[in-house]
Amino acid sequence: MILIDLLAALVGGVLWTALLTAVIKRFAFKSLPPIKRIAANVSSAWLAIYFSAGYLSADAPGEVFLWSAGLKYTPGAVIVFLIEQARYKKSLGSQRDADG
């Protein structure tokens, strides 16, 4: 049961982080260099997911925020960062091949 929960958190983390990153990168951090821009976009998406999960998981009386709720989405955010970084490096390599 725990393995299923962790797998669901990993898949959900990747999907939600990728979706929010796609939205954020259209509007924010345009002036940063590419790798820093990718890091800023993915970390902004992860923070939104972290705080959403924290507020939505608080179920004890008087509890407002569950600090550990968003941590399970961290591996998904790291995977999205690595995918975005690889995509950038691949496009950079194809540009160099076209120029060369």
Tokens representing 19 are 């979706």
pLDDT of residue 83 exceeding 70, the answer is: yes
Which of 32-46, 54-68, 71-85 has the lowest average pLDDT? 54-68
The reported pLDDT for the residue numbered 54 is 87
pTM of the prediction? Answer: 0.84
Q: Which residues have a Cβ under 8 Å from the Cβ of 54 and sit 6 or more positions away?
A: 65, 66, 67, 69, 70
- Return the domain boundaries, the chain: 2-99
The reported pLDDT for the residue numbered 3 is 87
The reported pLDDT for the residue numbered 44 is 96
pLDDT of residue 77 exceeding 60, the answer is: yes
Residue written as tokens 């496009």? Answer: 91
pLDDT digits (tens, 9 = 90+) for 12-23: 899 999 999 999
